[in-house]
Chains A and B, each alone.
Chain A
């Protein structure tokens, strides 16, 4: 059974803290994605990676960075957390071959106070 896991379901951090969100997939997928989901704004892509050490900016990369040192792990980093980064963060992965199906993790609800 395919699986994408995220390090925390709920996280509370203070403004200015450095925050790490971890995502691991066990499907040997090349592509990995970080999204955030907010009411009224839908799902927005922050960053994605199509290979180890490779990354591309999504639609809203400001205030975020990513790291992919191993194929199975993709980390999202908030260098200095701000209250407007309070959100649901979703990680996903997909293969580069047919059928390119995306699989999502359970999400991390981050609250920045």
Chain B
């Protein structure tokens, strides 16, 4: 059974700092990995999706990487801003199932 872990559970940084969020998974037979952002009381917004054949994806100040062999993905946020404050979740889609397994998320606070 796939297990997805995100450490740390919470992170607080000063504005302008570059930071890395981590996501690890136990079963490397994945189809894709998706990073989401969730603001309090809201739904999930898709940030980046990496196919299993890809190593990384970039969107603006965000860069996500994938290392299937080690069961890890990272989300890099450059020049963080207070508006980046949110919970970030990763989700792994397994090859043989239509379902995804979600991590519990990392709650990021960017202080002005």
Task: Mark A residues whose CB is within 8 Å of B.
Answer: 4, 31, 33, 42-43, 45, 48, 50, 58, 88, 90, 92, 94, 96, 98-107, 109
Contacts and interface: CB of A to CB of B under 8 A. Distances in A.
B98 A102 contact: no
B28 interface: no
Given A98-B51, A99-B49, A104-B36, A90 B102 contact: no
Interface in B61-112: 89, 91, 93, 98-100, 102-105
Interface of B: 31-32, 34, 36, 41-46, 49, 51, 89, 91, 93, 98-100, 102-105
5 contacts: A4-B43, A90-B43, A100-B31, A100-B32, A101-B49
Contact of A50 (B41, B98, B103): B98
